Amino acid sequence: MSFGASSLRGATGLRGAVVDHRFARRHLINEFRRGRLRKDQVCDAHPELIRAASNFGAPTQVRCPICEQQEVVLVTYVFGPRLPAFGRVVSTAAQMQTLSRSNDDLAAYVVEACTGCRWHHLLRVLPIGGRKKRTPPQQAQG
């Protein structure tokens, strides 16, 4: 399941910046349509991403920009301390809310994927969690 930045705001607000990759996406699609990139160069999603997209992806009404046959789905991975090295796929709003209450600084990566042609692209990175109280540095007494 994917989420917007507004769904991740907690009592202390959203920390960090949201990184949006729409311009890179548009550039890649334009390069493919101009014939500068082959289909096998842009439709190369890892089998685990396609499996996650098939089983846990959030449906959209956005047609795949490459095959134009299917709608892409959104897959959200969360990375951070005490999570598996390969991240955790988040498939429900409840899971995302639990992770967003974490004291650890986490990052949610929202990826679009087409299960038909295996197109994929990182759409955005959202900071979540990080509710730790940070102590200010000690000032020198003199």
140 in a structural domain: no
8 in a structural domain: no
The number of distinct structural domains making up the chain is 1
The share of the chain scoring above pLDDT 70, in percent, equals 81
- Structural domain including 33 reads 16-129
4 in a structural domain: no
34 in a structural domain: yes
50, pLDDT greater than 70:
yes
Residue 57 to residue 12: CA distance in whole angstroms = 29
pLDDT bucket at 14, cuts 50 / 70 / 90: very low
Residue 112 to residue 90: CA distance in whole angstroms = 14
Mean predicted confidence (pLDDT) in 46-52: 96
Structural contact between residues 119 and 71, judged by C-beta atoms closer than 8 angstroms: no
pLDDT of residue 73: 97
User: For residue 8, how many C-alpha atoms fall within 13 Å in the half-sphere facing its CB?
Assistant: 25
10 in a structural domain: no
